C-alpha cells in the first residue's frame, strides 16, 4: 500500500511580536517591532497508511495543532515536504478540504442558532454533495450516532456530549478519507467519552477512515490507538506501538496485592514497593528478571492474599518519563 | 459561480430565518436604524432650508444623491457585513474553520452575518430617492431606470469592496482598524452631496482612488439630465457604475493575497 499521508522534515517558525512593558512600550511598538522566533516544528517526518488510527500526543505547545493545520492545508510550512492523498495540501486547500474531516473539541462547526438538520443541509451545499448521496450518508450517520431525537434541536441547546456526536457526524457527511480529531473527548462525562470512543473505533474499522487523534486524555489513546506519535518542542520523540513506547522507558510491570495482614512487610530482592495503601501494595518488578507467575507464588507463599492483579504502568507515567529523559 | 450564488442565497435564507427567531428585536432594530439614518437626512434638509441652494444644487437633487448612496450602502451593509467585524474571527482563531471548508473564504465571510435590519436605511434611501425625483420631475426613460439600477449595484459593489479592504488589513494586524471606518462611513456621508461642492484634491480622491463619485455623482448627472460643470463626457456618466464592480474585483484580489500571507505567517 502506498502511504496516504507523507510528511518529511517539516519545519515551521512563528514570529511573535514583542512589546516593551508600559505605555511608552506600546507607543514604540507602533513604529518599531521586535520579533521573537518560536520554532513550532523542527523537522517532523512520518507516513500514514490508509485506515490507520494514530494518536498524536504531546504537551501544550509541542506542535500538534501546527502539524494538523499544515496537513489540513490551512497553514504553509517554511520547509519540508508534505503530501496528503498525493497532493500538497497548502497548494490545494480546497481540493484537500473536500477529502478531509476535522473536529475541534473546543470549537463547533455547526451553526449555533440552527437546528442540527439545517446545519447538515448547509454543509451539503458547502461540500457540493449530491442530494441523494447526502440523504444516504446522513441517514447512515443518524442511525450510527443515534441522532434521530436531536435533529430538530438548535445546536445551542445540545449538551456537550450530544453536540460532539453531531460534530462527528457533520465532519463525515462528505465522506472524507481522513479525519483529524483534536481533543474530541475534552469536557465530556464518562458515558459520553465511552460513546465517542466507540464511534471513532467503528468509523475506523467499519468505514476504513484514517484517523489522526490529538488528545491529552491517555485513556483515549489506550482505548483506541495502535500507533502513537509522541512529540515535544517540535520534534518527534517516539513513533511506534504503545508497547514500543513502554519498552523505551522500561519493561516494568506492577503487581497489585491485597494482604490479609495489613501490617505485613514484603521484602523481596526483585520488587520495589511503590505505594502502600493499608493492606494494598503496589509492587514494581521487571519481568525479565522475574516472571509474574514466579513472583506471585513467592509472595503468596509468605503472605496470605485476599486479591491480586498485574498491570502496566499507566501511559501518563511512561510519557512523563520520556519527557524527563529528554530534558536531561 | 452559479453554484456559489446558490450557496450565498442559502446562507442568506438561513441567516434571516435565525434572526426571525427574535422577531421583536428585529422590528426594533430596523426601526432604530430607520430613525438614526433619518436624522442624517434632517441635517441635509436643515442645510438647504437655511441656504436655499448650494452652488446651484437644490434640496430635491441632493435627495436623489442621498437616496442612491444610501440604498447602495444599505445593500452592502447587509450583504458584506461579515467583513466589517472580521477581525474578531482572526482574534478568536475562528477563521481556521472557514479555511477548512472547500469554498472561497471571501464568500463565507461575506455571508457570516446577513443583517436584515439594514432594511431601515434602505427604506430611508428609497423614500428620499422617490421624493427627490418627483420634486425635480426626472424624465424617466428605460435607459435612465437601468442606469439608476446599475449605479446602485455598482455602489453596493464599491462599498462592499471597502469592507473587504478593511477586513483584509486584519491579516496583518488586528489593532486599530477603526480608522478604516472614516473611509466607509465617511465615504457615505461624502457621496451624499454633489461632487462640485468639494475642493479639487478631494474630488480627485473620490474619483480616482476611492471612486465614490462614479456611483453617485456621475450617473446622477445623466439621470437628472444636467450638463456636468466638471465637464465629464456623457458616455463616461453612463459607464461609470462599472468602476464600482472593478473596485470590488481588485479588493477581492487583495483579499486573496492577504489570506495567503496569513496562512504563511499563521499568527
User: How does pLDDT run across B214-265, given as a tens digit for each residue?
Assistant: 888 888 888 888 777 777 788 888 888 889 999 999 999 999 999 999 988 7
Contact residues on chain B for A69, CB-CB shorter than 8 A:
96, 266
How many separate helices (H) and strands (E) can be counted in chain A?
Answer: 11, 13
Cα–Cα distances in Å, from B153 out to A141, B68, B150, B161, B238?
Answer: 43, 10, 5, 12, 13
Note the pLDDT of residue B177.
Answer: 64
Rounded average pLDDT over B42-60: 77
Q: Are strands A53-57 and A79-84 parallel, antiparallel or unpaired?
A: unpaired
CB contact under 8 A, A69 and B3: no
Note the pLDDT of residue A132.
Answer: 93
Could you tell me if A249 and A304 are in contact, meaning their C-beta atoms sit under 8 angstroms apart?
A: no
B218 touches chain A (CB under 8 A): no
Cα–Cα distances in Å, from A3 out to A52, A100, A265, B161, B242?
Answer: 10, 15, 55, 44, 51
Could you tell me if A149 and A185 are in contact, meaning their C-beta atoms sit under 8 angstroms apart?
A: no
Rounded average pLDDT over B86-105: 89
Does B267 have pLDDT greater than 60?
Answer: no
What 3-state DSSP class applies to A180? strand
Which of B75, B253, B233, B61 minimizes the C-alpha distance to B155?
A: B75
Q: What is the DSSP letter of A170?
A: H
What 3-state DSSP class applies to B193? coil
d(CA B76, CA B154): 10
B7 touches chain A (CB under 8 A): yes
CB contact under 8 A, B14 and A118: yes
What 3-state DSSP class applies to A128? coil
* Mean per-residue pLDDT over chain B, rounded: 83
> Which residue is associated with the grid cell 514466579?
A294
CA distance A98 to chain B (A): 6
Which of B149, B163, B81, B164 minimizes the C-alpha distance to B119?
A: B81
Of the ranges A240-244, B30-34, B106-110, the best mean pLDDT one: B106-110
Note the pLDDT of residue B266.
Answer: 64
CB contact under 8 A, A113 and B18: yes
Of the ranges A53-62, B7-16, B63-72, B245-254, the best mean pLDDT one: B245-254
Note the pLDDT of residue A47.
Answer: 94
d(CA B111, CA B195): 33
First-last CA distance in chain A: 39
d(CA B86, CA B174): 10
Is residue B259 left, alpha or beta, with left meaning phi > 0 and alpha meaning psi from -120 to 50?
alpha
Q: What is the DSSP letter of A234?
A: T
CB contact under 8 A, B11 and A122: yes
Q: What is the pLDDT along chain A (328 residues), one digit of tens a residue?
A: 688 999 999 999 887 777 666 667 666 666 666 778 888 899 999 999 999 999 998 888 788 888 999 999 999 998 899 999 999 999 999 999 999 999 987 888 888 888 899 899 999 999 999 999 999 999 988 888 888 899 999 998 998 888 988 998 999 999 999 999 988 888 888 888 888 888 899 889 988 899 999 988 888 888 888 899 999 888 998 898 888 888 777 778 888 888 888 777 877 888 888 777 777 888 888 888 888 888 888 888 888 888 888 888 777 778 788 888 777 6
- C-beta neighbour count of B125 within 10 angstroms: 24
Note the pLDDT of residue A135.
Answer: 92
Task: Sort B176 into a burial class: Cβ within 10 Å, 0-12 / 13-18 / 19+.
Answer: exposed
Could you tell me if B77 and B114 are in contact, meaning their C-beta atoms sit under 8 angstroms apart?
A: no
d(CA B81, CA B109): 9
Note the pLDDT of residue A20.
Answer: 66
Could you tell me if A56 and A214 are in contact, meaning their C-beta atoms sit under 8 angstroms apart?
A: yes
What φ, ψ does residue A155 adopt, rounded to 5°? Answer: -55, -35
Tell me the CATH number for domain A49-247.
3.40.50.300
Could you tell me if A48 and A54 are in contact, meaning their C-beta atoms sit under 8 angstroms apart?
A: yes
Instruction: List residues of A whose CB lies inside 8 A of any B CB.
Output: 12, 14-15, 66, 69, 72-76, 90, 93-95, 97-98, 100, 102, 104, 107, 109, 111, 113-114, 118, 122, 125-128
Which of A113, A124, A171 to mutate to test binding with chain B, by most B CBs within 10 Å of its CB?
Answer: A113
Cα–Cα distances in Å, from B91 out to A253, B65, B80, B87?
Answer: 47, 38, 19, 6
What φ, ψ does residue B75 adopt, rounded to 5°? Answer: -60, -45
Q: Which of residues 41-100 of B touch A (CB under 8 A)?
A: 93-94, 96-97, 99-100
d(CA A92, CA B102): 10
Could you tell me the three cell numbers for A3? 502511504
Rounded average pLDDT over B98-124: 84
Contact residues on chain A for B7, CB-CB shorter than 8 A:
125-126
Note the pLDDT of residue A173.
Answer: 92
Q: Per-domain residue ranges for chain A? A: 49-247, 253-312
Cα–Cα distances in Å, from B169 out to A87, A137, A328, B211?
Answer: 30, 40, 45, 20
Rounded average pLDDT over B138-162: 90
Amino acid at each position: 500500500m502506498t502511504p496516504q499521508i507523507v510528511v518529511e522534515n517539516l519545519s515551521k517558525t512563528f514570529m511573535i511580536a514583542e512589546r516593551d512593558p508600559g505605555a511608552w512600550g506600546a507607543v514604540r511598538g507602533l513604529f518599531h517591532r521586535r520579533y521573537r522566533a518560536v520554532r513550532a516544528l523542527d523537522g517532523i517526518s512520518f507516513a500514514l497508511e490508509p485506515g490507520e488510527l494514530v494518536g498524536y500526543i504531546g504537551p501544550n505547545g509541542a506542535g500538534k495543532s501546527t502539524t494538523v493545520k499544515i496537513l489540513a492545508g490551512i497553514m504553509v510550512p517554511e520547509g519540508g515536504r508534505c503530501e496528503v492523498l498525493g497532493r500538497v495540501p497548502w497548494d490545494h486547500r480546497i481540493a484537500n478540504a473536500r477529502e478531509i474531516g476535522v473536529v475541534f473539541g473546543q470549537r463547533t462547526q455547526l451553526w449555533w442558532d440552527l437546528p442540527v438538520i439545517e446545519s447538515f443541509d448547509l454543509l451539503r451545499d458547502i461540500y457540493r454533495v449530491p442530494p441523494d448521496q447526502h440523504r444516504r450518508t446522513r441517514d447512515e450517520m443518524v442511525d450510527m450516532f443515534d441522532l434521530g431525537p436531536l435533529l430538530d434541536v438548535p445546536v445551542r441547546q445540545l449538551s456537550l456530549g450530544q453536540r460532539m456526536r453531531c460534530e462527528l457526524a457533520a465532519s463525515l457527511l462528505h465522506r472524507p478519507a481522513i479525519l483529524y480529531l483534536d481533543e474530541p473527548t475534552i469536557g465530556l462525562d464518562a458515558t459520553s467519552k465511552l460513546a465517542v470512543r466507540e464511534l471513532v473505533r467503528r468509523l475506523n474499522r467499519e468505514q476504513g477512515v484514517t484517523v489522526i487523534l490529538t488528545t491529552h486524555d491517555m485513556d483515549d489513546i489506550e482505548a483506541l490507538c495502535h500507533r502513537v506519535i509522541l512529540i515535544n518542542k517540535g520534534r518527534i520523540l517516539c513513533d511506534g506501538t504503545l508497547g514500543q513506547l513502554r519498552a523505551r522507558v522500561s519493561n516494568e510491570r506492577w503487581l497489585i496485592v491485597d494482604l490479609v495482614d495489613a501490617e505485613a512487610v514484603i521484602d523481596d530482592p526483585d520488587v520495589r514497593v511503590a505505594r502502600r495503601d493499608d493492606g494494598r501494595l503496589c509492587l514494581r518488578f521487571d519481568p525479565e528478571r522475574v516472571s509474574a507467575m514466579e513472583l506471585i507464588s513467592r509472595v503468596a507463599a509468605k503472605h496470605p492474599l485476599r486479591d491480586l492483579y498485574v498491570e502496566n504502568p499507566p501511559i501518563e507515567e511512561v510519557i512523563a518519563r520520556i519527557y524527563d529523559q529528554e530534558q536531561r | 459561480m452559479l453554484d456559489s450564488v446558490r450557496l450565498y442565497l442559502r446562507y442568506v435564507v438561513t441567516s434571516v430565518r435565525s434572526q426571525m427567531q427574535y422577531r421583536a428585536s428585529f422590528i426594533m432594530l430596523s426601526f432604530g436604524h430607520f430613525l438614526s439614518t433619518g436624522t442624517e437626512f434632517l441635517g441635509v434638509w436643515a442645510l438647504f432650508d437655511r441656504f436655499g441652494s448650494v452652488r446651484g444644487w437644490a434640496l430635491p437633487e441632493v435627495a436623489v444623491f442621498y437616496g442612491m448612496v444610501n440604498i447602495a450602502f444599505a445593500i452592502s451593509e447587509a450583504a458584506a457585513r461579515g467583513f466589517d467585524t472580521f477581525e474578531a474571527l482572526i482574534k478568536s482563531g475562528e477563521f481556521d474553520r472557514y479555511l477548512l471548508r472547500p469554498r472561497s473564504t471571501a464568500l463565507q465571510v461575506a455571508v457570516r452575518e446577513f443583517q436584515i435590519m439594514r432594511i431601515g436605511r434602505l427604506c430611508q434611501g428609497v423614500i428620499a430617492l422617490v421624493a427627490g425625483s418627483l420634486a425635480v420631475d426626472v424624465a424617466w426613460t428605460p435607459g435612465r431606470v437601468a442606469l439608476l439600477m446599475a449605479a446602485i449595484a455598482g455602489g453596493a459593489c464599491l462599498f462592499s469592496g471597502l469592507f473587504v479592504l478593511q477586513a483584509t488589513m486584519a491579516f496583518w494586524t488586528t489593532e486599530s482598524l477603526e480608522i478604516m471606518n472614516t473611509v466607509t462611513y465617511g465615504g457615505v456621508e461624502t457621496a451624499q452631496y454633489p461632487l462640485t461642492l468639494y475642493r479639487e484634491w478631494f474630488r480627485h480622491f473620490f474619483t480616482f482612488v476611492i471612486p465614490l463619485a462614479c456611483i453617485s455623482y456621475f450617473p446622477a448627472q445623466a439621470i437628472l439630465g444636467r450638463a456636468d460643470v466638471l465637464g465629464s463626457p456623457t458616455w463616461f456618466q453612463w459607464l461609470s457604475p462599472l468602476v464600482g464592480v472593478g473596485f470590488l474585483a481588485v479588493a477581492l484580489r487583495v483579499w486573496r493575497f492577504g489570506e495567503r500571507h496569513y496562512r504563511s505567517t499563521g499568527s
